[in-house]
A and B are shown apart, each in its own frame.
Chain A
Amino acid sequence: MNVLGIRNLNVTFGTEGGPLRALRNVSFDVPRHRIVGVVGESGCGKSTLINAILGLLADNGQVESGQILFEERDLTQMDSLEMQAMRGSRISTVFQDPMGALNPVISVGKQMLHIQYRSDLGRTEKNARSVEMLRRVRIPDPKSALSRYPHEFSGGMKQRIAIAMAMMMEPVLLIADEPTTALDATLEVATIELLQELQAQIGCSVLFISHHLGVIAELCDDVVVMYAGEVVERGTTRQIFHDPLHPYTERLLRCDPAGQSTRTRHLPTIPGEIPDLRDPPKGCIFADRCDRRETICETAPPEVEMGGHRACCHRVKP
């Protein structure tokens, strides 16, 4: 059963140069208790996707068509109050930048107390719950941490506090927006392990956004590969990493520095740029940068499925 099902989602931003189609026909599922990774380079629509799910698109952004099914209900049809009721209780989020993610002038304890505003518990019980959550993310001396302010903690600790806040209401879905990108490598591993541990304890599903392939491979059960606002390939982590179907996924995996076995002065890159989404190409979105381009690529590619592994490419034959 799916916790989150995204169906043909189209999101458009009104800009001075005309409508910018940031997400086009995006579809994928987040099954219960699974960790789904979304991978793609900057500008592929990862942040737009998160904001669309949370109902926090900028004023000029709009869901044109499609559905975001969360526990069988379509989030795109909800009004702002219903969405607010979802956020923080059923759907929680950990953001990328731990330095700025917490309010600088409100103590950690107060912020954790505010998040629990929907709970019927008394103040003392709520604080006890905050202490318990801080203990679970291994904040030393969690009781006194409540009266401290974000700037008194290190970056890694702030990110763990943010995770504690996100997990506090025991959400059904946790959205993790590049939660380790701003951390150094050792903290990254610890944070990943912490997320895995809490996910197992609480039993939530996780939508994990990252451009770090190693982290995705380590943590996720399924992977969605996005390029320029479209899902080009999706499947299990094993399928994506061992048997990539789409040329973009292949090239992306080759660009991972961790996969380099020989010394080189030049890390591989994918030449070219993301197309202008105000006027996206008619055919395959990746055709301009693809080294195996054919004439047929000027028409829109079909989605081909093989045992749950899907890719949008003319070259893939079922």
Chain B
Amino acid sequence: MTAELKILNAGALNAVAVNAVAVAAICVSVLCAGDAAAQTPANAAVGDGKIHPYHVQGNVWLMAGEPDGINVTIQVGSDGVVVVDTGVQSMAAQLLERINDTAMSQAGFRAEQKPVHIIVDTDARPDHVSGNQIIREGGSTLMAGNAAFDQSFNPGAPVWANENVQAHMLMPDASGKPSVPTVLWPTQLRYEDLYSITYNGEPVQLYHPHRAITDGSTMVMFRGSNVLVTGDILSMISYPTIDVKAGGSIDGELVALNRILELAVAGPYEEGGTMIVPGRGHLCDQADAVQYRNMITAIRDRIQFYKNQGKTLAQVLALKPSADTDARWGATSGPWTTTQFIEAVYATLPAKGAMFSMRTDVIVPADAKVAGPSREVF
């Protein structure tokens, strides 16, 4: 075999090899398309600037990677995509891309991309709604009738929120303009305490707790997937961010936390079962929510105890009623500090009150020795 022929043969072989590798790569990529969206790199870290889709269970995915541990949740299926909270604006484009990738990967063999059809805002906070415009415009409204023929008209995906969310967004800033741009406003307002639909083959229920961290909070329960999205009512990184000016209160927050415990059903030996997506931080279950509820209740009761003694806010702060849990949940700087939390609790407790319970009017037998509330102030 001459040298030229060897080279030609080598080149041919190389070409064949390259083509074979390319074909193999395409085959691998197609075969792995269903897993691409699900693969979280081993070195994925909080704050790496990337959105990481993470399968929670059923139809529900967590889009992790927003700053400050903010959680965006999506439900995917043949009807389309439901997005709960849209994160920050700077990551919205990447978020939309990851949402579409995830929806595509779960669409089956004859993939037809299903767009975002519903957006739910759990409250009016900037890091929950700042991506509304981009995600909304990247989605679509299911059109019918005459409007379906006008392809130029599509308002994008509807944005659902409690009516008080828009009320908060309407509040003027220093310049007199609405504090939140209109492009981020919800497009459909909910008034009900409970609103239910069936979407992607499962019941989806929106709960509105009264005066929790705000008066416009919403939790979303995906019943078939057994996933509860709580917004900032539950957080795995800080004490609850109770916004008193926006109608939040400590007892409303505790009612909402207890509601979470009612809605969530633990798996065997208090692990798993209903998965809970908190507003911030890692995924959790009922057992984690119980710990959080117990901690917040203890702090609240201690502050009420001090307030019953007539102590001022400054005196209560000096007593450090949350000292035993500040190392994990408190902060001395940043957007939400321990001091701000104590102030919010103190401000929303009565001057004289009892230990917390869901029922304020409990009849306790005279000879019963039970723990719990008393009509008498302690």
- Do A and B truly interact? no
